Structure 1
């Protein structure tokens, strides 16, 4: 399967590549922090966009403000359905619809891939992921962590 992915990695991944749009989300890497992507002020139109099989999501996991650790990347129409459900749940309230989806859910439920940046080793990425959530070891291993070469 071929996934377009930008290089070099940046926090601004709003780039059209081979007919696909990448939706960038950023997450911090700190002890005790939940690794997740956050969809701010989601409305029905935005939620439905994530059900389009041409829209890919990249959640960049950072250490501090400038050290990219890894990216969780993929597309699944069920993500759009989930976001739409959450929008509808708060539709008649004064609450804004902001959703956070953990990388564990993106990997397990939505079959997202883990991408290793060029300056990191796959062993380190696997260690970070398993340290974060041991159950991810069932879904992520050295052989399925992708490298930039896998997207060319």
Structure 2
């Protein structure tokens, strides 16, 4: 049985798919890819079935990742049953996910992705949405995702045992 991590943003075309690709890469390098499965979704369904935003894919490709397999999905209540760790990219995503939780206990399972970011400070827990900006925004988000993912993977053995 594998441990499942869900990464969730708004449309599932920028932040969460970037984190998905990076986390799968880091899991493979850590030898945990046979024990941990990664999925991603958006709280809004208007991009369902689409590929990743081309700017997100370009920044990933430039950094040596393969963004080609992504297909946007929509988060729903079933994700609480299907996943062990539910990570939101921003507070709005967290609220949308919590609103769909079947119980109060399930609401508590929704956490912020940047809880694992060693550079996050109190009050700065969101991954900014680069969609409205240029290439530099996507590069900054990728750097944030990489350092956060490295810390998450480092903590995974403890999460897998709990």
Q: Which has the higher strand share?
A: 1
The structure with higher relative contact order (CA 8 Å, sep 6+) is 2
TM-score between the two structures when normalised by the length of structure 2: 0.25
TM-score between the two structures when normalised by the length of structure 1: 0.26
Larger Rg: 1 or 2? 1
Q: Which has the higher helix share?
A: 2
